[in-house]
């Protein structure tokens, strides 16, 4: 942005956005982790922007090993424009589109033809963490809760026993509204499957197999391919802040 001459306020706004009192806000983010790097490994990150519908912009990332070139993670995000004064979403003015469209690259880190919608959880979610209050260190320069804190609130609501045995393979976030420093937040999450099964899959470490029942028959399934999902919601006084979806794979045991 700086090299292109578009950066005008330090927040990625173009000159046309500044004239129209517009700022960027993220509406959606999707991260997929193929596998994790080891400590001390050198990685490289590619990032680029592209169009997202008529009034949005997409920013994608690819994280890979510098040594082997293998991909560790991919991510995509959707950004829309908000009027800084009214805090309402805005259409993209033609002058802003003319400023940014020459920099768009037509490739996607994650192919999302029709992104899945995340259902809203009700008050009867299996796991609930209430009375969450932002600290000063959780706020960004606009005095709103940083989106990294949202992820932490979501993950902290998942049972410790599950987290000990699984690692995150993907996360989708749908942002609904801003969260201020004085608000009290409630974090809800609901597992897709019975957690007693996920937590009870203590497989034979020699064979890495588990018996699975179905229609009265038993068979063996490689549990390394088993994935588990959670649906998440952060809200304040029943007003949504963020909806989320996480997917998890079993951690690979390396021995004791």
Contacts of 82 (CB under 8 A, 6+ apart): 22, 23, 24, 25, 88, 89, 90
1-115: CATH number: 3.10.129.10
Q: Is 35 a catalytic residue?
A: no
Residue 215: predicted pLDDT: 47
Fold agreement between 1-115 and 118-256: yes
Residue 117: predicted pLDDT: 83
Residue 46: predicted pLDDT: 95
pTM: 0.82
Q: 1 falls in which pLDDT band (50, 70, 90)? A: low
| Nearest C-alpha neighbor of 139 from the set 183, 176, 175 | 183
- For the chain, give every domain's residue range: 1-115, 118-256
pLDDT digits (tens, 9 = 90+) for 45-59: 999 999 998 889 999
Residue 147: predicted pLDDT: 87
Q: Is 20 a catalytic residue?
A: no
pLDDT digits (tens, 9 = 90+) for 71-98: 999 999 999 999 988 989 999 999 999 9
118-256: CATH number: 3.10.129.10
- Residue 207 in this model has a pLDDT that exceeds 70: no
Q: Is 253 a catalytic residue?
A: no
**pLDDT, mean of residues 60-72:** 95
| Nearest C-alpha neighbor of 240 from the set 168, 150, 158 | 150
DSSP track, 146-159? -HHHHHHHHHHHS-
Spatial contact of 250 and 166, defined as CB atoms under 8 Å apart = yes
pLDDT digits (tens, 9 = 90+) for 138-170: 998 878 899 899 999 999 999 999 999 999 999
User: Cα 175 to the chain's mean position, in Å?
Assistant: 10
Catalytic residue among 30, 166, 179, 232: 179
Residue 199: predicted pLDDT: 56
Residue 200: predicted pLDDT: 54
Catalytic residue among 9, 83, 142, 224: 142
Residue 8: predicted pLDDT: 61
**pLDDT, mean of residues 204-224:** 43
Residue 216: predicted pLDDT: 42
Catalytic residue among 15, 35, 127, 144: 144
**Two tokens, residue 45:** 């990150």
Q: 196 falls in which pLDDT band (50, 70, 90)? A: low
Contacts of 38 (CB under 8 A, 6+ apart): none
How many whole angstroms separate alpha carbon 225 and alpha carbon 32?
Answer: 15
Residue 194: predicted pLDDT: 62
């Amino acid at each position: 942005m700086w090299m292109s001459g578009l950066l005008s306020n330090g927040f990625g706004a173009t000159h046309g956005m500044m004239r129209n009192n517009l700022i960027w806000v993220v509406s959606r983010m999707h991260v997929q982790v193929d596998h994790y790097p080891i400590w001390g490994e050198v990685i490289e990150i590619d990032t680029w922007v592209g169009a997202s519908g008529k009034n949005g912009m997409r920013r994608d990332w690819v994280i890979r090993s510098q040594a082997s070139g293998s991909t560790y993670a991919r991510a995509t995000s959707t950004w829309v424009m908000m009027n800084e004064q009214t805090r309402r979403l805005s259409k993209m003015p033609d002058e802003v589109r003319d400023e940014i469209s020459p920099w768009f690259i037509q490739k996607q880190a994650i192919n999302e033809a029709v992104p899945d919608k995340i259902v809203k959880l009700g008050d009867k979610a299996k796991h609930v963490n209430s009375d969450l209050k932002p600290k000063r260190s959780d706020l960004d320069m606009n005095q709103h809760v940083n989106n990294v804190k949202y992820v932490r609130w979501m993950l902290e609501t998942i049972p410790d026993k599950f987290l000990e045995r699984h690692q995150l393979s993907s996360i989708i976030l749908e942002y609904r509204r801003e969260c201020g420093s004085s608000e009290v937040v409630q974090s809800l999450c609901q597992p897709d499957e019975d957690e007693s099964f996920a937590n009870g899959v203590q497989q034979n470490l020699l064979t890495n197999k588990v018996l699975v029942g179905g229609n009265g028959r038993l068979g063996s399934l490689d549990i390394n391919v088993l994935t588990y999902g959670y649906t998440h919601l952060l809200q304040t006084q029943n007003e949504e802040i963020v909806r989320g979806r996480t997917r998890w794979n079993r951690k690979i045991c390396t021995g004791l």
